[in-house]
């Protein structure tokens, strides 16, 4: 990595951390911690335990999808255990290290455990992130279009319900456009090139669009796309179900579409570089999304804190166990893909 690229990455990381730290301050600066604590003490244990179990299940659901993305469905040398250990280690590292270092650590882990080439692992994780974004975007769009926001909740002079519907339609249209563009990559890239003005930066934008569409190559073959998409939807529907079950733990009477919206807002909120464990941003995103449904800010923050802490523990524990069992450390790896 050259010095300029390192400087750019360091600047992006610093900016993300500053934003995340600012969100921590914004979230907690005026909160009534006594009220937040009272909400925490009233939580119902049984639905909370169920929510934690559901929130942990998607990590296991990523195993068969990753095998498909690696193109080694029938390869006996690539065991489910190896894939699971790599996933657990990677997501645990994301929880305790900044800048999503766990993504690279996951690739290193599967390289050491199953001899998957670094380049293959990196490309599969890149495609996985694109698939996650599309699946979550689609569900977010559905949640917004079908949202039942209170009519009294406004942003400026417009009801939140109206704004949400428009954003949801845009999300669904963007998802459909991405699928069509992926199946007609050359034409889509050529269209992007024609639409952009002739500027020095235009070539970079066209190259970026091409890389994104390459990552969506799974959509080109319906026979390959169907199981990959099915697993992607399963991951995010189960994850949304965890948010929904946690509503019952706090006595929130909200529809399942609210869980889709909370999940979508959270994913947007943590997209940029974050503090380890997404501290602050996680709570701000969830509390803000719940506020749109008329949930008291203190109760929403209590929900976010409890959900964050309780769902953080299982995968982090499993990841540490996998690291100890396999001997793959948790230090940020320095790897050059060849």
* Boundaries of every domain in the chain: 18-326
Per-residue confidence (pLDDT) for residue 261, from 0 to 100: 92
Per-residue confidence (pLDDT) for residue 255, from 0 to 100: 92
Angle between helices 222-249 and 45-70 (to 10 degrees): 170
Strand locations in 100-184 (E)? 154-155, 158-159
Residue bearing the bigger pLDDT, 173 or 254: 254
Per-residue confidence (pLDDT) for residue 166, from 0 to 100: 76
Per-residue confidence (pLDDT) for residue 338, from 0 to 100: 42
Per-residue confidence (pLDDT) for residue 170, from 0 to 100: 75
pLDDT digits (tens, 9 = 90+) for 185-206: 788 878 877 887 776 667 777 7
Structure tokens at 291: 């506020």
| Per-residue pLDDT at 244 exceeds 90 | yes
| Per-residue pLDDT at 258 exceeds 90 | yes
Other CB atoms within a 10 A radius of the CB of residue 41 amount to 8
β-sheet bridge partners, residue 159:
154
| Per-residue pLDDT at 217 exceeds 50 | yes
pLDDT band at 51 (very low <50, low <70, confident <90, very high): very high
pLDDT band at 337 (very low <50, low <70, confident <90, very high): very low
Residue 314 has, within 13 A of its CA and on its CB side, a CA count of 16
Q: Smallest Cα–Cα separation from 132: which of 279, 270, 320, 29? A: 270
- % of the chain at pLDDT higher than 90: 30
pLDDT digits (tens, 9 = 90+) for 273-304: 666 677 778 888 899 899 888 898 889 999 99
The rounded mean pLDDT for the chain is: 80
pLDDT digits (tens, 9 = 90+) for 27-50: 666 667 778 888 889 999 999 999
| Per-residue pLDDT at 71 exceeds 50 | yes
Highest mean pLDDT among 13-17, 56-60, 133-137: 56-60
pLDDT band at 272 (very low <50, low <70, confident <90, very high): low
- The dihedral formed by the CA atoms of 295, 298, 299 and 301, expressed in degrees to the nearest 10: 100
Cβ contacts of 61-68, under 8 Å, gap ≥ 24: 61/231, 61/234, 61/235, 61/238, 62/87, 62/128, 62/231, 62/235, 63/87, 64/231, 65/128, 65/131, 65/228, 65/231, 65/232, 65/235, 66/124, 66/128, 68/224, 68/227, 68/228, 68/231
Give the predicted TM-score (pTM) of the model: 0.79
């Amino acid at each position: 990595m050259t010095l300029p690229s390192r400087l750019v990455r360091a600047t992006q990381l610093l900016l993300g951390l500053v934003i995340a730290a600012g969100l921590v301050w914004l979230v907690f600066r005026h909160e009534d911690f006594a009220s937040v604590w009272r909400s925490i003490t009233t939580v119902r244990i049984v639905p909370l335990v169920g929510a934690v179990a559901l929130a942990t299940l998607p990590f296991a659901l990523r195993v068969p999808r990753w095998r498909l993305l690696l193109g080694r469905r029938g390869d006996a040398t690539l065991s489910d255990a190896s894939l699971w250990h790599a996933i657990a280690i990677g997501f645990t590292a994301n929880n305790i290290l900044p800048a999503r270092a766990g993504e690279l650590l996951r690739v290193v882990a599967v390289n050491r455990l199953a001899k998957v080439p670094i380049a293959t692992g990196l490309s599969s994780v890149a495609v996985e992130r694109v698939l996650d974004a599309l699946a979550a975007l689609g569900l977010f769009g559905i949640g917004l279009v079908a949202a039942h926001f209170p009519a009294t909740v406004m942003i400026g002079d417009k009801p939140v319900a109206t704004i949400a519907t428009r954003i949801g339609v845009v999300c669904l249209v963007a998802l459909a456009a991405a699928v069509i563009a992926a199946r007609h990559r050359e034409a889509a890239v050529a269209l992007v090139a024609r639409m952009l003005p002739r500027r020095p930066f235009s070539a970079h934008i066209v190259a970026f669009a091409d890389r994104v569409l390459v990552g969506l190559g799974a959509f080109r073959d319906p026979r390959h796309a169907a199981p990959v998409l099915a697993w992607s939807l399963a991951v995010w529907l189960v994850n949304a179900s965890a948010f929904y079950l946690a509503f019952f733990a706090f006595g929130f009477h909200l529809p399942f579409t609210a869980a889709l919206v909370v999940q979508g807002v959270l994913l947007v909120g943590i997209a940029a570089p974050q503090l380890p464990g997404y501290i602050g941003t996680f709570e701000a995103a969830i509390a803000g999304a719940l506020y749109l449904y008329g949930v008291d800010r203190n109760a929403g923050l209590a929900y976010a804190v409890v959900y964050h802490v309780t769902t953080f523990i299982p995968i982090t524990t499993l990841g540490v166990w996998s690291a100890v069992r396999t001997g793959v450390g948790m230090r940020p790896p320095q790897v050059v893909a060849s």
